[in-house]
């Protein structure tokens, strides 16, 4: 099915885009109006777009329902400052509660049971319970339209970053497994990031991968190796050589058993290489595949 966005109703555009552009991190924005009233609301139209200068953007959109704007937008137009608190799994229900459309001047810190902690450079308070908070000044507010659903880009520069000591090791490095971010998807769906679903994709920064086009045809057209497997194999920076010292009992068995049937042998080698690749053993997988070429 192909959807032409011009033919969709505003609510449908929102529905499809929010489901497919996901997961989105959540900016928990603390702002203040010119009279000092504090506001706290979550926004998943949010990300980082530059590290130097350190720029984050989030977007309080015009409501699809009635085209009204959000207090957060009004506040940053009055006082161009925001604390962006990072949302983690242990706070997600309270964060959701804070997104209720309480009237202006209602402080969602109180409604959602969070504690105000004074920021050090700007007026809006930080969320004490959040393990990561960023004090930001607003660089620009860019409306993207005038109809319901139109976003308002709030472009912020991070002035100061607060990270809870529990997330840092002795070298002041972050442990990604400890943050436990949550992210928003479509409708009521969220996901959480924890040790069980995190994984590494090694990417050499200084050297180029040989590329899938450089893989031998028998590997490239394998019915057994997946796209991910080919990506792993093609990420080596030089085409591997057969290592005469490579000694592997399972490989020996495959070669011995299937030597009379080269087609079956190739299949077995690919299955074995696939298993190794799925375990992250790229060098070993290459040796297995080279023995069959
Ligand atoms: C997790 C989450 C993410 C949200 N993301 C957005 C968003 O990116 N943009 C938006 O306009 N509203 C978003 N909302 C809805 C706002 O939080 C909600 O409209 C809130 O009442 C706005 O508060 P305010 O009027 O006090 O600024 C989100 C709600 C939740 C629970």
- pLDDT tens-digit series, residues 225-273: 999 999 999 999 999 999 999 999 999 999 999 989 999 999 999 999 9
**Is-contact 120 135, C-beta < 8 A?**
yes
Ligand 1 centroid to Cα of residue 120, in Å, is: 25
pTM summary value: 0.93
3-class SS letters over 149-181: CCCEEEEEEEEEEEECHHHECCCCCECHHHHCE
Cβ atoms within 10 Å of 51's Cβ, excluding its own: 8
Ligand 1 centroid to Cα of residue 25, in Å, is: 13
124 lines ligand 1 (CB under 6 A): no
70 lines ligand 1 (CB under 6 A): yes
> To the nearest whole percent, how much of the chain has pLDDT over 70?
99
**Is-contact 142 153, C-beta < 8 A?**
yes
Ligand 1 centroid to Cα of residue 123, in Å, is: 21
Ligand 1 centroid to Cα of residue 119, in Å, is: 22
- Per-residue pLDDT of 70-82, as tens digits, reads 999 999 999 999 9
Who contacts 139 (Cβ-Cβ below 8 Å, separation ≥6)? 55, 155, 156, 157
Assign 204 a pLDDT band (cuts: 50, 70, 90).
Answer: low
Give the phi and the psi of residue 160 in degrees, each rounded to 5: -145, 135
List strands edge to edge, sheet with 182-184. 24-25, 182-184, 190-192
Q: Which residues of 88-98 are buried (b: 16+ CB within 10 A; e: fewer)?
A: beebbebbbeb
- Per-residue pLDDT of 5-33, as tens digits, reads 999 999 999 999 999 999 999 999 999 99
Q: Closest Cα to residue 29, out of 20, 37, 38, 21?
A: 38
Assign 104 a pLDDT band (cuts: 50, 70, 90).
Answer: confident
62 lines ligand 1 (CB under 6 A): no
DSSP string, 22-40: --EE-EEEEEE-TT--EEE
pLDDT average, residue stretch 195-199 = 95
**Is-contact 152 60, C-beta < 8 A?**
yes
| CA 284 – CA 279 distance, rounded (Å) | 10
- Per-residue pLDDT of 44-63, as tens digits, reads 999 999 999 999 999 999 99
């Amino acid at each position: 099915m192909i959807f032409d966005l011009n033919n969709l109703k505003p609510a449908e555009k929102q529905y499809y885009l929010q489901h497919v552009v996901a997961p989105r991190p959540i900016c928990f924005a603390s702002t203040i109006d010119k009279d000092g009233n504090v506001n706290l609301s979550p926004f998943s139209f949010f990300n980082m777009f530059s590290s130097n200068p350190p720029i984050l953007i989030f977007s309080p959109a015009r409501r699809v329902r009635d085209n009204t704007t959000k207090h957060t937008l009004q506040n940053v137009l009055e006082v161009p400052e925001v604390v962006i608190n990072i949302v983690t799994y242990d706070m997600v229900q309270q964060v959701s509660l804070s997104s209720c459309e309480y009237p202006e001047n209602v402080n969602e810190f109180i409604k959602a049971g969070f504690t105000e902690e004074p920021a050090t450079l700007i007026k809006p308070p930080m969320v004490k319970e959040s393990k990561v908070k960023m004090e930001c000044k607003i660089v620009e507010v860019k409306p993207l339209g005038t109809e319901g659903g139109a976003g308002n880009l709030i472009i912020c520069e991070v002035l100061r970053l607060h990270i809870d000591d529990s997330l840092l090791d002795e070298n002041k490095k972050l442990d990604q497994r400890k943050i436990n971010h949550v992210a928003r998807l479509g409708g009521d769906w969220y996901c959480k990031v924890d040790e069980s679903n995190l994984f590494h994709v090694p990417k050499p920064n200084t050297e180029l991968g040989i590329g899938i086009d450089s893989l031998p045809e028998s590997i490239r057209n394998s019915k057994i190796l997946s796209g991910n497997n080919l990506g792993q194999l093609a990420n080596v920076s030089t085409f591997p050589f057969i290592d005469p010292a490579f000694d592997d009992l399972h490989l020996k068995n495959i070669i011995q058993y299937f030597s009379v049937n080269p087609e079956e042998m190739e299949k077995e080698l690919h299955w074995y290489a696939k298993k190794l690749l799925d375990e992250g053993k790229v060098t070993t997988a290459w040796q297995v595949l080279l023995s069959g070429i």
